[in-house]
Amino acid sequence: MDNYSKLPKKKWSTGKKTAVILVSILLVLALIAGGVYLYFELSLNEGEAGKLTPEVETTETTKAKDVEYILVCGIDDDEEDPSRSGVGRTDLIMLVCYDRKAGSMSILQIPRDTYVGEEVPTGGTGKINAVYSHGADTQNRISNLAKVINSQFKLPVDHYVTIDMQHFREIINVLGGIQMYVPWDVPYFDENGNQLGVIPEGDQLINGSQAEIIVRSRKGYAQGDIKRLQAQQYFFAAVFRTMKTFPMSDIIKVAPGFINYFNTDYKVSELISLASALQKMDSANIGFTRCPGGGLGKTNGHSGMYGVNAEALAPLLNDHFRPYSDPVPAAELGLPTGLVYAYGEIPGEYQSMGDLNIPTE
């Protein structure tokens, strides 16, 4: 018999046993949480988008204190150039101005067909949605677009998030659908342009396929891209309402199902902080504005483009996207000038998400 077996047995009180059990449980939970955190940290990556290079202007180089600017893009396959498979175009472009001090967000929607001029590499289309894939930096494609935001809109870019639009419907299905007020009948078509049906106006639970139609469709509208941007606003309002009801435990459950469809330069801790702030934010403190302007006639050999009216856009940017920095007059924006709006112009407006966040039954 060894000496250790001769030592007197130590009796633990019930209270001490309970304390040990609780500590053990906490340690296990900490390990699980650490494992989840590590999984998310490893899963989040920059992917094809790359980095925001030092040439991109951020709030560190401006007077925009207490503000964070986030470039959000939906990446789709380059349908106009099949040889560039895997190098997508930005089918959805938004710049989010998050005012930490005021606890508010302003969202600038930029039409995908916005004309950016002849000096910007676009693969011959002239459209902003091709800047990401055709810019000079093939390693950091997001920087191609961010630099155009800097130069033409005179706004910084601090972070970015991209989503693979090919998997957009899967993400919505993982969430179990989104309860949404559809503001009007949304038509949908087959690949040959034949109408297959409509998603009817009204409050309903939409699945991934329906969400994709609402967010992306512009056929069947007299003002195609603008109508699509309006529909997106209602969709984002519904997503915001849904997110506010999600407990963190549910977010952790569904996150592995869609995290690989995102690319971002955010760290997990930064995303958690941003999500927490968004959950506490009132919908009245979140606003949208679409770039004012209109469809252009044939310009420099290009067609099907949208022209942004700098005179109408400048006050919107100064009022809602430069809360702590100097205003920038229209003449100092880098947007193309001398545009001819062949189909009339759409005025600029700023709308609160609270006006769109229609309560569901």
CATH number assigned to the domain covering 47-167+259-354: 3.30.420.590
- pLDDT at position 102 over 60: yes
Q: Which residues contact 43 (CB under 8 A, 6 or more apart)?
A: 256, 259, 260
- H or E, element range at 41: helix 14-43
Q: Between 11 and 74, name the one with better pLDDT.
A: 74
- pLDDT at position 217 over 70: yes
| Average pLDDT estimate for 9-14 | 50
- pLDDT at position 120 over 90: yes
- pLDDT at position 112 over 60: yes
Instruction: Indicate the average pLDDT of the chain.
Output: 80
- pLDDT at position 223 over 60: no
Q: Between 64 and 177, name the one with better pLDDT.
A: 177
State pLDDT tens for residues 127-153: 999 999 999 999 999 999 999 999 999
pLDDT for position 194? 81
pLDDT for position 261? 76
Of the chain, the percentage scoring pLDDT greater than 70 comes to: 76
pLDDT for position 47? 81
Q: Between 76 and 315, name the one with better pLDDT.
A: 315
Question: Which of 177-181, 213-217, 250-254 has the lowest average pLDDT?
Answer: 250-254
Of the chain, the percentage scoring pLDDT greater than 90 comes to: 35
Cα separations in angstroms, 31 against 34, 35, 44, 267, 327: 5, 6, 20, 19, 49
- pLDDT at position 4 over 60: no
Give the highest mean pLDDT range of 76-80, 172-176, 212-216, 288-292. 288-292
Q: E-strand spans in the chain?
A: 67-76, 89-99, 104-109, 159-164, 178-182, 186-189, 195-199, 202-206, 262-264, 286-290, 293-295, 306-308, 350-352
pLDDT for position 24? 52
Question: Could you tell me the pTM of the whole model?
Answer: 0.82
Q: What is the SS3 assignment for 218?
A: coil
pLDDT for position 356? 73
* pLDDT bracket for residue 122 (50, 70, 90): very high
- pLDDT at position 224 over 90: no
| Average pLDDT estimate for 351-356 | 82
> What counts of helices (H) and strands (E) characterise the chain?
10, 13
Alpha-carbon distance of 111 to 257, in angstroms, equals 29
- pLDDT at position 309 over 90: yes
pLDDT for position 308? 96
* pLDDT bracket for residue 232 (50, 70, 90): confident
